[in-house]
Chains A and B, each alone.
Chain A
């Protein structure tokens, strides 16, 4: 058996051990291994972000967020990224997504994004429109990265930068045959709905009317009569057939412009280097000129964003993600280090100040005239409850029919106005009225979204 001394000794040792365990020593704050913050992006953005911040192996914990390293995951394309985001769950979702502003309404409704507040110092670097682009139902979901916009490039081997829409049409008509022009103006970047918004606006149309920096949710978005008349004057012959200046297709636009077969092209700010490589001068960038001399058509001046996901909170990375958004993407230094590789016009004002001439050209086009890209207005969702949105009193449409989105309606409007197929064409006033009705219905519906 144990002696009394031994028992006392064991008891004392256990007591000391217990006391040591209860009173946590000063160095009880044990250093933990760095955690990983995950950012999803398309492969281009991912590669550029990695160039800016380094790979996980190259980073030291705390380089960008205290206690964290940043892992950037690239998806082969923008659509692939969106598919992955749509399929993401709390089990596999990222903390931050570098995505488009028009993803915000649906992802927020689906509960995949979390609201976020920019610090005062970071907020100063962005405009209200840019922050509005990444907001839904009054809540901000991310930090603006770079401006997505298009600008019109003039082929200065053929002509000079125009000051009005009519000047472009006049040049086309005068030189169509002699210069072998296939079109006068076409959309090389952004497609017939997003990229062509500036052309719609230059002719007097708009997806929604802006008032005091805010989109109106009631009434017609533009004066149908004026727009229809401008279409007739600029895009149609006297007999109502298209004059060929602008067609309803963007196919081959880029190559035709490069080949000198089109004098004016709307190009995207993500592709300007392709044109510089072909010898084009980025100082010839401008907005799409309006009907009045020195006026501008307003395209979308939307932003891409670094979006905070709701998965971050589930993974215990919420504040780390917010810190990265605020301190890296929200700061001029962070934005500059990223845009140095991304080469798009930075949304961050401080970073934009040191941009290249091409980026400044796009920035100028955006600043002269642009409208925010409001997903709740553009993505549709309205129902034609009266049958008068898509029809008339004389011939009402189907009651309860789904009202098309802007993305579907604008290409259809172009076809209705300038298609080479006479069976597709509609009277410009009728077609314009339908488009205006569609946008008005979707704008009114946006209050329920």
Chain B
């Protein structure tokens, strides 16, 4: 306690909290490094260093406030952006998700050999052999030795990686169910000793990597679990110097095609899997322009995305402002109207969208039922399956979801406009319309421009609405349309990246960057035009 005497409580608290934070980060760093996530581990290490430096020294007072935000920004904004940019330069899709060393390891171990057709699948009992190596219990030296049998044909033998010892039936000791369990000893010498139960687990890797000798040339046996032995033959051979695989049977040579696969030199379409992520630089961006299967839908989707975002912002703002102007004047029960108008905004948008989806159903939706009551006969307007109506539905539902927000901010902005300005205009003989056009609206626009721009950016990427209301559709799938009538760039990208059949993360990353550049450019232009935040731009 003497040590802490004279130190303020706040300082002690700071030391305790920072120490706890460092301990947690230290634990996370250790976990990340142990899991092989070196980059994440290094990031935690840097964070620990920076936190200790900033909070335990007086190097920079402002950094004490900024550092948590900077670290979170780096983690959740900058890292995903950098990752997306880097992935856009890769061939990164189904079949090409590993690194090259991982893929090579898989190809050499898992795919390099194939089971020999029509060969027997033998019963297997694992143990140790002694013939060459002395005491069988000297596990440091004894090789893993398989007691292999095929009882219908009375075949029994011991096999290691280098030896094959046939056994006669009288040497076999059978268990209760008639399977070979042990081998009789010859004289004082051990012949074979079965594994202890725990040795199966301890030596699993050794068993898996052992190619047990088999009688037929060019073949070997491999354990398939602890009780089955199968016969394999080398299918392909890897030449490390040339970095090629050769198919032993066909003679075809498979060479690194520079695009993440070993491909047949005589038929480029014949590639080996798994492949790996390969740098293809700007190929994904080039495909956006050159590949008609990507370009054509993308152009249509881009145009609709712009129309959707602009129309949404304009309609939401117009309606919100109209209501705000209406309720700006004093009237009886104004607070009730204001409360009701905020309701769509207060409700979770996901629920609202799904309810609207039901209401717009062609056969049993409330909207068609209501119109039917008005016109006096049933109507079957295909709100979500006709391209034009689906787009209209998307805009209407978004208007419903978004206008309260613009009502709220417009109300606030209207209250901030000095009454003297409109009063002076009235004295000067300006009409209501003139006052609105020349005074109120310009002032509102100056105040609300940043919010309009951010709303545009939000709606440019309004994935929830599209995904939940129309799923991007309707689209004529049978005719090969890959993008629906209401697909916006982000929902189209989602389909590219997470399609049910195949996934193309590289191409989706490229489209994401296009979206980012488009939104950034339009927002920047808007901010400059509005002359707001000039000091920041």
Residues of A within 8 A of B (CB): 24, 26, 28-29, 31-35, 61-62, 65-68, 89-92, 106, 108-111, 114-120, 123, 137-139, 310, 313, 316-327, 379-381, 383-384, 389-391, 397-405, 407-409, 411-413, 415-416, 419-421, 423-424, 426, 431, 434-435, 438, 448
Contact = CB atoms under 8 A, between A and B. Distances in A.
Contacts of B123: 119
A182 to B, nearest CB: 9
A123 B37 CA distance: 40
A421 B274 contact: no
Interface string B211-247: 0000000000001111110100000000000000000
Contact of B292 (A115, A319, A400): A400
Nearest to B380: A420
29 contacts: A24-B140, A31-B196, A61-B197, A66-B201, A67-B202, A89-B36, A91-B37, A106-B94, A110-B95, A114-B110, A117-B224, A120-B121, A319-B208, A319-B224, A379-B501, A379-B502, A380-B501, A381-B502, A398-B293, A400-B293, A401-B480, A402-B293, A409-B477, A420-B362, A421-B362, A421-B382, A431-B478, A434-B479, A448-B270
Interface stretch (B12-20, B56-64, B96-104, B443-451): B96-104
B5 interface: no
Given A35-B201, A119-B228, A111 B293 contact: no
Contacts of A109: 94-95, 273-275
Interface in B96-155: 97-98, 102-103, 106, 109-111, 114-115, 120-121, 123, 135, 137-140
B478 A31 contact: no
B423 interface: no
For A65, A109, A435, the residue with the greatest tally of chain B CB atoms inside 10 Å of its CB is A109
A412 B225 contact: no
B224 A322 contact: yes
B198 interface: yes
B480 A398 contact: yes
A108 B208 CA distance: 19
Contact of A67 (B201, B292, B385): B201
Interface string B270-284: 100111000000000
Contacts of A408: 477, 500
B205 interface: yes
Contacts, number: 220
A111 B98 contact: yes
Contacts of A448: 269-270
Interface residues of B, number: 68
B223 A413 contact: no
Contacts of B120: 120
A326 B103 contact: no
B198 A67 contact: yes
Given A32-B199, A117-B121, A421-B380, 12 more contacts: A24-B137, A66-B200, A111-B274, A320-B200, A322-B225, A327-B227, A381-B502, A398-B292, A401-B293, A412-B477, A419-B385, A421-B385
Given A24-B138, A434-B479, A32 B198 contact: yes
Contacts of B37: 91
Contacts of A326: 224-225, 227-228
Contacts of A402: 293, 480, 482
Contact of B226 (A139, A323, A400): A323
Contacts of B198: 31-34, 61, 66-67
B226 A320 contact: yes
Contact of B478 (A33, A120, A381, A434): A434
Contacts of A400: 291-293
A110 B224 contact: no
A424 B36 contact: no
B344 to A, nearest CB: 25
A408 B225 CA distance: 39
Contacts of B480: 384, 389-391, 397-398, 401-404
A28 B136 CA distance: 11
Contact of A401 (B109, B273, B274, B292): B292
Contact of B201 (A68, A139, A325): A68
Given A319-B204, A381-B501, A405-B501, A92 B230 contact: no
B219 to A, nearest CB: 14
Nearest to B120: A120
B488 interface: no
A426 B478 CA distance: 10
B137 A26 contact: yes
B182 to A, nearest CB: 15
A139 B117 CA distance: 12
Nearest to B35: A91
Contacts of A316: 204-205, 208
A92 B35 contact: yes
A412 B501 contact: no
Nearest to B208: A318
For B123, B195, B228, the residue with the greatest tally of chain A CB atoms inside 10 Å of its CB is B228
B474 interface: yes
A190 B228 CA distance: 37
Contacts of B121: 117-120, 123
Contact of A313 (B140, B202, B208, B478): B208
B309 interface: no
B207 A319 contact: yes
A334 to B, nearest CB: 13
Contact of A91 (B36, B140, B292, B479): B36
B227 A323 contact: yes
Contacts of B292: 398-401
The 6 A-B residue pairs with the shortest CB-CB distance, nearest first, are: A67-B201, A111-B274, A390-B480, A322-B225, A412-B477, A323-B225
